[in-house]
Amino acid sequence: MNDTLVTLVGNAATGVEFRETATGGMARFRFAVTPRRWDREKQLWTDGHTSFYTVWAWRTLALNLSGSVSVGEPLVVHGRLKVREEEREGQRRTFVDIEAVAVGHDLTRGTSAFRRVMRGEPALTARVGSADRADEPDDTGGPDGPGGAGAPDVSGGSRGGVARSGSRKPTGRQKAAPELVSAP
């Protein structure tokens, strides 16, 4: 496949329009990219010409975009570049579209809170600490335990700096090993 993949850094110029289609969800929004250059003569940053793109997304990405992106938010968009020409009112116009593969907030310009979507649930996003963590043991030790109530682990290891061999929690994409239970 000879697609041109691009990665753009910019801002959402419009709200996300979401529609349900026969093959799943479809979303689109306009995306603005403005290059900034250092002007050595004036000793300050200057903005270049702003380019606008229409970003298209399908299925799960479309649904997640509609619940996650607002006008003006800084984003990183990765996808297939599509250039099309149309004739409108006697004038030939060129449009540049991006068929998104991945979209995320630009964390160099702020913070973001990720919530994993739980399959089969009608809610757009799952609450933090719900179903995916229900079977994991609580190692906070309660409100007075190591690190206080739900404090993040900043020690680089397990809570309180005590190493517990074989008891590491799985990371984002790793699945917890199933516990073996013997039948009576």
pLDDT at 64: 93
Describe the chain by its helix, strand, coil percentages, rounded to 5.
Answer: 10, 40, 55
**String of b and e for 128-142 (b: at least 16 CB within 10 Å)?**
eeeeeeeeeeeebee
Burial of 98 from C-beta contacts in 10 A (0-12 / 13-18 / 19+): buried
* pLDDT, averaged across the chain: 76
CA within 13 Å, CB half, 42: 7
- pLDDT band at 79; cut points 50, 70, 90: very high
How do residues 147-169 score in pLDDT, each as one tens digit? 344 434 433 333 333 333 444 44
Q: Is the pLDDT of residue 142 over 50?
A: no
How would residue 91 be classed by pLDDT, with cut points 50, 70 and 90?
very high
- Partnered with residue 24 across adjacent β-strands are 21
Higher pLDDT, 159 or 106: 106
What does the pLDDT read at residue 117? 81
Question: C-alpha distances in angstroms, 87 versus 52, 84, 92, 123?
Answer: 19, 10, 4, 42
